[in-house]
Amino acid sequence: MDHIADAQRTDLMTITRFVLNEQSKHPESRGDFTILLNHIVLGCKFVCSSVNKAGLAKLIGLAGETNVQGEEQKKLDVLSNEVFIKALISSGRTSILVSEEDEEATFVEASLRGKYCVVFDPLDGSSNIDCGVSIGTIFGIYMVKDVNEPTLEDVLQSGKNMLAAGYCMYGSSCTFVLTTGKGVNGFTLDPSLGEFILTHPDIKIPKKGKIYSVNEGNAMNWDGPTASYVERCKFPKDGSSPKSLRYIGSMVADVHRTLLYGGIFLYPADKKSPNGKLRVLYEVFPMSFLMEQAGGQAFTGKQRALDLIPKKLHERSPIFLGSYDDVEEIKALYAAEAK
Ligand code: AFP
């Protein structure tokens, strides 16, 4: 009998225990981050359960404009947004919230204010819900400069100032991936316990990968470096095997695979969308932070992604992220073009 493996199986490292362990290394900490994270986790559990029920609800005729009680059914992305906003405000630990769903930032009223700002996409990839593809929540956390006077400047900061970032993927299992700036850890929801358990400690992305991930339907509008890079993936010049193409069209799922298996995920600029499609604050920054913490890189085509300073809440940026060597190759192509 393998006693060590058995001990690990019965000694469950829940996400709360994990974060409390981290907190105990900082005697000055008052547990604010743990409380905030608990509220984010609660939102994720709610969305996970709603996503799981979405297919069933449709089959038994609950979806659509109204349900059997004649009540209006909220779309899942709208519902998820409400749940996160309420959970984050009630944590008493936030000052400013920026959601993909809301045009304006939410400023928390003074009596409920705390020292963190949260930027998030409550349900990224939601156009994939009806066909059962994995979707997810993405979030990033900043510290407010002055709790008495929060301003938009607190969230329009460079990505390298993020304190923590992560995502929760609602797929064949529900997986929560987190960085607090000391590596990346993954937790899987045990539905019978209702707890996220550490299943992927200290995730490191392979230095080079065998997969590229991009919407090739946009190829006719790509710039030179992106087009050459993808051509090299398919027809390598160094005698190596071509890379495989995998593209789900749901960033959390594409990035999760890239993190675990290695390779590169691209959402480049093109002639129609000169800034790409993905949003800086709650897509590009959190995923770039996770990639760097796992040993990979994230690049915009011009600079390190985390060095960007967004001017607007919903600003977009091209993004190339993944294995260190693969991103290095695309950086070299952009550098050569700039000469
Ligand atoms: P939706 O939330 O509208 O489904 O968009 C998903 C997304 O923002 C991101 O998750 C994907 O990586 C990207 O868009 C896919 O975009 P394309 O459909 O243009 O490939």
Q: Which long-range contacts (CB under 8 A, 24 or more apart) does 14-23 make?
A: 14/187, 14/195, 14/196, 14/197, 14/198, 15/41, 15/176, 15/178, 15/187, 15/195, 15/196, 15/197, 15/198, 16/41, 18/185, 18/187, 18/198, 19/180, 22/180, 22/182
pLDDT of residue 132: 85
Instruction: List the structure tokens of 128.
Output: 């994939």
Mean pLDDT of the chain: 92
Strands 184-190 and 264-267, by their bridges, are unpaired
Residue 63: pLDDT band (50, 70, 90) is: very low
Q: Whose CA is nearest to atom 15 of ligand 1?
A: 249
pLDDT of residue 138: 98
Give yes or no for a contact between 289 and 281, defined as CB atoms under 8 angstroms apart: no
pLDDT digits (tens, 9 = 90+) for 17-30: 999 998 888 878 88
Give the position, in ligand 1's atom list, of the atom nearest the Cα of 267: 12
Please say whether the dihedral angle defined by the alpha carbons of residues 314, 320, 322 and 323, taken in this order, is positive or negative: negative
Give yes or no for a contact between 253 and 213, defined as CB atoms under 8 angstroms apart: no
Give the position, in ligand 1's atom list, of the atom nearest the Cα of 247: 20
Ligand 1 touching residue 251 (CB < 6 A) = yes
State yes or no: pLDDT of 277 exceeds 60.
yes
Strands 174-179 and 164-170, by their bridges, are antiparallel
pLDDT of residue 8: 59
Residues 251-258: what's their mean pLDDT?
98
pLDDT digits (tens, 9 = 90+) for 223-244: 999 999 999 999 998 899 999 9
pLDDT of residue 2: 60
pLDDT digits (tens, 9 = 90+) for 131-173: 889 999 999 999 999 999 999 999 999 999 999 999 999 999 9
| Residues 163, 177: Cα–Cα separation, whole Å | 15
Ligand 1 touching residue 130 (CB < 6 A) = no
Q: Whose CA is nearest to atom 12 of ligand 1?
A: 251
Give the position, in ligand 1's atom list, of the atom nearest the Cα of 77: 2
Q: Whose CA is nearest to atom 7 of ligand 1?
A: 125
Element spanning 190, H or E: strand 184-190
pLDDT of residue 129: 81
Give the position, in ligand 1's atom list, of the atom nearest the Cα of 265: 12
- CA of 62 from ligand 1 middle (Å) equals 26
Ligand 1 touching residue 128 (CB < 6 A) = yes
Residue 10: pLDDT band (50, 70, 90) is: confident
Give the CA angle between residues 235, 236, 239 to the nearest 5°: 120
State yes or no: pLDDT of 126 exceeds 90.
no
pLDDT of residue 27: 78
Ligand 1 touching residue 250 (CB < 6 A) = yes
pLDDT of residue 68: 46
Ligand 1 touching residue 189 (CB < 6 A) = no
Amino acid code (one letter) for 136: G
* Max CA distance (Å), the chain: 65
| Residues 286, 162: Cα–Cα separation, whole Å | 8
pLDDT of residue 69: 46
- CA of 125 from ligand 1 middle (Å) equals 5
User: What are the φ and ψ backbone dihedral angles of 147, each rounded to 5 degrees?
Assistant: -60, -30
- CA of 249 from ligand 1 middle (Å) equals 5
pLDDT digits (tens, 9 = 90+) for 193-222: 999 999 999 999 999 999 999 999 999 999
| 119 closest CA partner among 132, 106, 133 | 106
- The answer for residues whose C-beta is within 8 angstroms of residue 67's C-beta and 6 or more apart is 73
Q: How many percent of the chain have pLDDT more than 90?
A: 81
State yes or no: pLDDT of 60 exceeds 60.
no
- CA of 247 from ligand 1 middle (Å) equals 11
Residues 3-10: what's their mean pLDDT?
62
pLDDT of residue 37: 96
Q: From residue 19, give the alpha-carbon distance in Å to each of 25, 67, 182, 301.
A: 10, 40, 12, 35
pLDDT of residue 128: 83
Mutate which of 76, 80, 121, 124 for ligand 1 pocket (most atoms within 8 A of beta carbon) = 124
pTM of the prediction? 0.93
Instruction: List the structure tokens of 200.
Output: 């992927």
Q: Whose CA is nearest to atom 17 of ligand 1?
A: 249
State yes or no: pLDDT of 62 exceeds 50.
no
Ligand 1 touching residue 279 (CB < 6 A) = no
- CA of 250 from ligand 1 middle (Å) equals 5
Terminal-to-terminal C-alpha distance of the chain: 62
pLDDT of residue 74: 64
